[in-house]
Amino acid sequence: METQRCPMCGRPNPPELEVCQYCQARLKPLWAEPSTGSSEAREAGISKSKPGLEPEEPLLPDWLIASRGQMSDEEPPQSEERGEDAFLLPPEEVEIDNFLGDLFSDEPAEEKEDVPEWLQALRGEKISEPQSSPLSESGEQGEPLPFWLGLGTGETEQAHAESASAEEKVPPFTESPFEGIDFDSDLLSLEEEKPAEIGAQPDIQPSLSPFEGIEPFLLEEEKLLSESPSPVEEKTALRAEETAPLPAEGDWTSETPPWLEALPGLEWEQGEPRGEEMPPEFLQGVVPPFVEADEELSEIEFPEWLNQVERSIEPELEAVMDTLTPPAIEMLADQEEGEIVPKEVEESHPQEDIPIEVVGPLHGLRGVLPAEPLVAEQKKPSKALSELLVTDKQRAQAELFLRLIEEEGKPKPIPAAKRAKPHTLWRALIFLALVVAATIGYLLAPFSTPPQELSVGVFDAMQAVNQLPAQAPVLLIVDLEGSDFAEMQATTGAMLDQMMIKGAFFVLVSANQNGALQADRLLREVSRLNGHHYQPSVGWVNLGYLPGGAAGMQAFVQSLTEVMPTTIDGDAAWQSDRLKNIRTLSDFNLVVVITEDSTRARQWLEQMKGHVPVSRLIFAVSAQVEPILRPYYEANPRQVQSVLAGIRDGAIYETQAARRGWAMQLWDAYTFVVMMGIALIFLGSLVYALFALLARRKGRAEREGR
Amino acid sequence: MSDEIGLLIFLALGVLMVFFTVVQRKKPYTLRELPAFQRLRRAIGLAVEDGRRIHVALGRGNVMSENFGSSLIGLGVLKRLTGIALIADRPPIASSGEGSLMLLAQQGLQAAHRRLGILPQDLPRKALLTGTTPLSYAVGSQMEIRDERVAVDLLIGHLGNEAALICDASHQQGNLSIAGSDDLTAQAVFAAAATHPLFGEEVYAAVAYMDDEAVHRASLQAQDLARWIIILFLIIASVVKLIGL
Amino acid sequence: MRSFLRSPFSTLITLLTGLVVLLGYFLDIEPLRELRFRFLQWAVLLAAVSLMLGVFNLLRVHWSRLRESTSKALYSLTFLGGFVLAVLMAGLLGIQHFLTHAVVDYVIVPIEASLFVVILVTLIYALTRSLQNRFSVFSLVFLLTVLFSLLASVPLLGVEIPFLHGGESIFAIGQRVLGAAGVRGLLIGVALGSVITGIRVLFGLDRPYGE
């Protein structure tokens, strides 16, 4: 299936499409399409998509507007009627200005009426009947014809007819680019590297490129600038042009000009399959693909006017060549190499006084205001400007930046992570000091002085124990860890001793995993130390571990026989004679909570509230728990009968009960250890505070020193 | 009577929370800056970059006790930390001293893995019970801190004076330790041994500082309002008692 | 099934259970109280089971460490050996056997007591360095309070100083007023936080342990 390739993305598209279905680029250039409607924009080479400039964006300089106005006054609307007379090059300044005006016009391009004749000729859009020709036919098949091939189109005949009329109105040569061009001499000058080709094809080689007259924006700017011929080459070409005689009419038409041979697609003539040659990228979308025409250029009959052009433009062209700039000459030289180099627009204005612009984007145009040397004089920059002004801060920053870059590649040692020194020696000293103090205190125990003041809590506890009947059931809730056993043993030893003297029967329960073992051990130790013969199952039953935390405590308090029905050994706990009457907590004569945990102490206190008479509730706690339970003890009404706190209360209890126990044995050691701790904390804090102050002072000095 | 008052207080707090949650959407509650959480943000990033772990000590709060509230906060902190640092080479670990707390921690880690689409691996070693008694729990946590290249230690839950051992291990490793507990003894220990101690209800604000959910900010706002109401009530009650009414 | 349990269904169970226990605590309605009691019993059972699960998890972790043959495998071996021994002794011999007593008296208690001494040394060490770590007014006041409390808790070389020791001493008054006030304030704050956290979890506003 025949497809057409998109000039932008290169993807194949159906032939009937005008716009690429992938990238929305135009597949068929606007100006190559048959004239079916408004064609001003296409004729000007401006796509319809070019938006018209806003009136408030005037881009035309005043001089151009003026010239446009002049030209528009002079220019009859016959510009559209010019067929072949409108050749490639817009010979008149009017055309060029109009063309430029089209570019920079504030009005939409569609409104412009002036159209270059050459463009009209190419388009064949003369309103008059388009004559078919091989070239035009091939163009009409959908492939746009190269405009330079319009020389041999079938429109030439009509152009002949019209040329006369056109000449009458406006001298056609004024628009012809070939005025004054000696094609043979040009051919010789430009095709020096290809003498064979030149000799074989003494075609008219216009010194000016077929692309002359095309606006710079349509041409490849790089080639324009880089391939413009040098002035020497231009002059050489011109001289050759001057000396070479004009070929006879018709001679040049029979031979293919070298520049034509140099165009791409030549190989097609030489037997390669015909096809369309894609124009350069800068022309894609604007210039239609080149299509090999069936008709040889040499076979084409050129119009009479062209011959006249040849004769008439020679002197003027000679003058023009004198004014060619080096870039133009380079372009001409590149033509010799067969490249399709768009030539600069050569001004062939009959008004030779009007200078040609040689620099900038308006290079090659006549009638533009000269930018150089008057306006944009190249001046050497002042020395002050040429020197870089660098402030001290910028210099410092630049040096820092350079240093950073230099140091980037240098390996830096990774600093070891700072870890706190374990201060093992200091810890060892602390431990040794405490051990020494404890040893001294333990050795001095026989000489110790017990606490003198009677604690209110001890008094209340003693009172509660004294009121116990014989062999009364006592609930011992022992929530102890092994680490606190010694302290709680000292705190509760005397009280438990007193209870054992009264023959109390203990029921042990614990809300922590270790408590059951500790409770058992506690009673064994008290019994052993004080000479009681308390045995398990006889002197106490151990219900074991009560899980569930506060919820378990609440469940136990509400229904203890159901929650803890058996002992830790698996025996039925509440079937014994001593416990058969126990159903609720209030059935116990005394409830003692022994714990070192403040949270558990509060939990037990709050859960037992209302279930145990206050007078029967005693708490024996560690010294750290005492501040938390004191509000309950000092409340009015009280919520707990007594709070025994720490070794101190245990020692007081032993003293009051006249039963020497662990508390008194440990009291002096305890006091010595506490005093040693005070000394260690005090001295150590002083030393470390001093270190800290010195370090801060040092740090401050370093910061200030920077 | 006291039961009805308690229920009323509970309901009032619930209504306040819901109300403030709705208000948060329009006017977020501004939290005061706590240096502990400012430093925590940075420490988490450094730990992840350094290939070190974050350790969360959940304590030994019993699920049936009122001290489980701080453990819930610890679980919330663990959940958010895991969401941040799970992609690191060494994801966070949690140690607990209670079986139910361990199970909940594993569940939270599993949920975090699922949320990120990562297969949970070796969960028992990421959320483990290090000991059933307070001291054995502390010693087990010490071992985790030393063995697992921990950089940050968060002690948030119900802990006692055994937390001193955990803080000491953290200090010896040069770690940052942020500690808070509902237990007063532990708070006293943290004041001396932890890098950044949290006192009172600051531990309950930990989750609000770690994410931007409206419900957490609303909780703090309700807490603050309730505290002011209690203060006013205490003052008024004291004055009334003084003047003999 | 898993997603079904993770769905709002589990949140609904949480909400209903919590409401029953809470209302059963506040309202004196017999059926509600009975239901609350049942729930609490189940919870106690679950707590005991969770303890067992925790112990199994501990065994599993140490077993895996033993198999990995790391440098810390010795500790895991010690733990596993001690666990097996304790289970056998308590299970076969009973808690009242003298061997069990010996293990408790000469192994468990001394180890825990020594750890407590370590805590004591650690705390003294931490207190001495508190000013170096944080040289602030708070640290200074804290240190002075500790020293003052320790001084007031024991007689100095057997001598009790009147204004320092005793029930009406400065320390006692300070402890009763300032100390108790501070404790109450902290406890109120903790209680508020606990209640608010409980409300959040109860009504499903927050699930710190799951999705």
pLDDT in tens, A455-468: 778 999 999 999 99
Instruction: Please tell me the total count of domains within chain A.
Output: 3
Query: Taking CB atoms and an 8 Å limit, are B223 and C205 in contact across chains?
Result: no
Contact B35, B244 (CB under 8 A): no
**Does A221 score more than 70 pLDDT?**
no
Cβ contact (<8 Å) for A422 and B63?
no
Nearest-CB residue to C150 (from A542, A630, A674) = A674
Orientation angle between helical segments A626-634 and A598-608, nearest 10 degrees: 30
Query: Could you tell me the pLDDT band of residue A269, with boundaries at 50, 70 and 90?
Result: very low
Q: What is the pLDDT, as a whole number, of residue A527?
A: 93
For β-strands A617-621 and B150-158, DSSP reports them as: unpaired
Residues of B in contact with C200 (CB under 8 A): 17, 215, 219
Pick the residue of A647, A678, A680, A682 with the most C CBs within 10 A to test the interface with C by mutation: A678
Query: Which residues on C lie below 8 Å from B167 (Cβ)?
Result: 122, 126
Q: Which of C64, C107, C184, C190 to mutate to test the interface with B (most CBs of B within 10 A)?
A: C190
CA closest to A558 among chain C residues: C37
d(CA A585, CA A559): 9
Structural contact between residues A342 and A331, judged by C-beta atoms closer than 8 angstroms: yes
| Residues from chain C contacting residue A555 (CB–CB below 8 Å) | 37, 40-41, 44
Judge whether A408 lies within some domain: no
Asked whether residue A451 falls in the same domain as residue A324, the answer is no
Cβ-defined contact of B64 to A550 (cutoff 8 Å): yes
- Which of A97, A121, A133 is closest to A43 using CA atoms? A121
Contact A177, A91 (CB under 8 A): yes
Q: Are residues A318 and A465 in the same domain?
A: no
Residues A466 and A326 in one domain: no
| Any domain includes A499 | yes
Q: Is the peptide bond before A637 cis (omega within 30 degrees of 0)?
A: yes
- Residue A400 burial (CB < 10 Å; 0-12/13-18/19+)? exposed
* A269-277: long-range contacts, CB 8 A cutoff, minimum separation 24: A269/A296, A276/A143
The verdict on a CB contact (< 8 Å) between B133 and A514 is yes
- Please report where in the chains the tokens 């201060």 appear, as a residue: A423
Encoded tokens for A298: 């040499």
| A422 shares contact with chain B (CB less than 8 Å) | yes
Q: Is residue A178 part of a domain?
A: no
The mean-pLDDT minimum among A269-273, A389-393, A545-549, B142-146 falls in: A269-273
Q: Residues of B with CB below 8 A from C131's CB?
A: none
Strand ranges across the sheet with A642-645: A540-545, A505-510, A473-479, A590-595, A617-621, A642-645
- SS3 track for A221-244: HHHHHHCCCCHHHHHHHHHHHHHC
Q: Which residues of chain B does A483 touch, with a Cβ-Cβ cutoff of 8 Å?
A: 135
A332 and A475 housed in the same domain: no
Q: What are phi and psi of A366, to 5 degrees?
A: -100, 155
Residue A477 lies in a domain: yes
Contact A654, C184 (CB under 8 A): no
Q: Evaluate whether residue C100 is within a structural domain.
A: no
Which own/partner contact pairs does C79-85 have at CB distance under 8 Å and 24+ positions apart? C83/C59
Residue A422 in any domain: the answer is no
Q: For chain C, what is the domain count?
A: 1
Is B164–C126 a contact, with Cβ atoms under 8 angstroms apart? yes
Indicate if the pLDDT at residue A132 is higher than 70.
Answer: no
- Is C154 an interface residue toward A (CB < 8 Å)? yes
Q: Is residue C62 part of a domain?
A: yes
Instruction: Decide: C180 and A631 in contact? Cβ < 8 Å.
Output: yes
How far is the C-alpha of A228 from the C-alpha of A221, rounded, in Å? Answer: 10
Compare CB distances from B64 to A482, A514, A549 and report the shortest one's residue.
A549
Q: How far apart are CA B2 and CA A3, in angstroms?
A: 93
What mean pLDDT do residues A598-623 have? Answer: 92
Could you give the strand order of the β-sheet that contains B93-96, starting from the edge strand earlier in sequence? B127-129, B93-96, B53-59, B150-158, B176-181, B196-198
- Structure confidence at residue A214 (pLDDT): 45
Pairing between β-strand B93-96 and β-strand B53-59 as defined by DSSP bridges: parallel
Residue A682 scores a pLDDT above 90:
yes
- Chain C, 58-87: which have a CB under 8 Å from a chain B CB? 58, 60-61, 64, 72, 75
CA distance B86 to B77: 13
Of the ranges A250-254, B45-49, B125-129, B193-197, which one carries the lowest mean pLDDT score?
Answer: A250-254
ipTM above 0.90, yes or no: no
Q: At a CB cut-off of 8 Å and minimum separation 6, what does A239 contact?
A: A185, A189
Examine the pLDDT at A213 and tell me if it is beyond 70: no
Cβ distance B65 to A599 less than 8 Å, yes or no, reads: yes
Does the pLDDT at position A321 exceed 90? no
Residue B67 touches chain A, beta carbons under 8 Å: yes
CA distance C66 to chain A (A): 26
A328 or A681: which leads in pLDDT: A681
Q: Compute chain B's Rg from CA coordinates.
A: 19
Q: What is the mean pLDDT of chain A?
A: 72
CA distances from A426 to A431, A504, A674, B117, B193 (A): 9, 49, 18, 50, 16
Residues of B in contact with C193 (CB under 8 A): 69-70, 73, 182, 201, 203-204, 223
Choose, out of A414, A421, A599, A621, the residue to mutate when testing the contact with B (most B CBs < 10 Å): A599
pLDDT of residue A255: 62
Name which of C121, C143, C151 is nearest A431 (Cβ-Cβ): C121
Residues 382-421 of A with CB under 8 A from B: 417-420
Residue C134, amino acid: R
Rounded to an integer, the average pLDDT of B76-85 is 88
| B62 or A199: which leads in pLDDT | B62
pLDDT at site A5: 86
Tokens for A448? 């110790």
The verdict on residue C172 lying in a domain is no
Q: Do residue B185 and residue A598 have CB atoms under 8 angstroms apart?
A: yes
Do both A470 and A352 map to the same domain?
Answer: no
Please state the rounded mean pLDDT for residues A432-446. 88
In sequence order, what are the residues at sequence separation of 6 or more whose Cβ sits closer than 8 angstroms to the Cβ of residue A257?
A: A183, A187, A201, A203, A204, A205, A297
- Please check whether residue C153 lies inside any domain of the structure: no
Among A22-26, A359-363, B107-111, the minimum mean pLDDT is found in A359-363
Same domain? For A477 and A563 the reply is yes
* Residue C51 at interface with chain B, using a CB cutoff of 8 Å: yes
Task: Give me the pLDDT at residue A1, please.
Answer: 58
Does pLDDT of B54 surpass 90? yes
Which three-class secondary structure state does DSSP give residue B178?
Answer: strand
Helix, strand, coil abundance in chain B, percent, nearest 5: 65, 15, 25
Per the structure, the complete domain to which residue C82 belongs is given by 1-92
Interchain CB contact of C184 with A (< 8 Å): yes
Question: Would you tell me which residues 28-57 of chain B have a C-beta closer than 8 angstroms to some C-beta of chain C?
Answer: none
Same domain, A82 and A189: yes
Q: Which of C109, C116, C158 sits opposite A449 (nearest CB)?
A: C158
- Name the B residues in 134-193 with CB < 8 Å from any C CB: 135, 138-139, 143, 147, 161-162, 164-165, 167-168, 171, 182, 184, 187, 189, 191-193
B100 touches chain A (CB under 8 A): no
Closest by Cβ to B13, choosing from C130, C199, C211: C199
- Going A423 to A426 to A430 to A433, the CA torsion angle's sign is positive
CA-based angle A400:A404:A406, to the nearest 5?
Answer: 115
B71 compared with A120, residue with greater pLDDT:
B71
Domain containing A328: what range? 300-359+372-384
Count of CB atoms within 10 A of residue B117's CB? 6
Closest C-alpha among B77, B110, B43 to residue B203: B77
Question: Which one of A551, A627, A631 has the shortest CB-CB distance to C44?
Answer: A551
The pLDDT assigned to B88 comes to 78
Residues of chain C neighbouring B64 (CB-CB closer than 8 A): 40, 43-44, 47
Position C22 in a domain: yes
Q: Is residue A275 part of a domain?
A: no
DSSP code, position A250: T
Residues of chain C short of pLDDT 70, as ranges, are 1-7, 69-70, 211
Phi, psi of B93 (to 5 degrees): -125, 155
Residue A500 pLDDT greater than 80, yes or no = yes
Give the chain C residue nearest B189 (alpha carbons): C123
User: Alpha-carbon distance C23 to C36, whole Å?
Assistant: 9
> Is the Cβ of B64 closer than 8 Å to some Cβ of chain A?
yes
Sort out which chain A residues have CB atoms less than 8 A from B135's CB and list them. 481-483
Q: Can you say whether residue B153 is alpha, beta or left, with left for phi > 0 and alpha for psi between -120 and 50 degrees?
A: beta
Contact A279, A290 (CB under 8 A): yes
Q: Which of A417, A419, A599 comes nearest B183 by C-beta?
A: A599
Rg (CA), chain A: 59
Distance CA(A529)–CA(A663), nearest Å, equals 12
Q: Which residue in C has a C-alpha nearest to residue B61's C-alpha? A: C47
- Burial annotation A191-227 (CB, 10 A radius, 16+ → b, else e): beebeebbeebbbbbbbbbbbbbbbbeebbeebbeeb
Relative orientation angle of helices A662-705 and A646-657, to the nearest 10 degrees: 160
SS3 at position A543? strand
Q: Is residue A80 part of a domain?
A: yes
- The set of chains that have 3 or more CB pairs under 8 A with C is A, B
Kindly report the number of other CB atoms within 10 A of residue A652's CB atom: 25
Task: Show Cβ contacts of residue A462 under 8 Å, excluding neighbours closer than 6 positions.
Answer: A495, A498, A653, A656, A657
Q: Looking at residue A428, what is its pLDDT?
A: 92
List the single residue in B66, B174, B182 with the smallest CB-CB distance to A417: B174
Q: Is residue A289 part of a domain?
A: no
Give the percent of chain A with pLDDT over 90: 20
Q: Fill in the amino acid letter for A59.
A: L
- Residue A202's pLDDT band (cuts 50, 70, 90): very low
Check residue A595 and report its DSSP letter: E
Asked if the Cβ–Cβ distance from A692 to C132 is below 8 Å, we say: yes
H or E segment to which residue A593 belongs: strand A590-595
Q: How far apart are CA C98 and CA C89, in angstroms?
A: 10
How many CA atoms are closer than 13 Å to the CA of A272, on its beta-carbon side? 10
- pLDDT above 70 covers a percentage of chain A that reads 56
Domain check: are A575 and A510 in the same one? yes
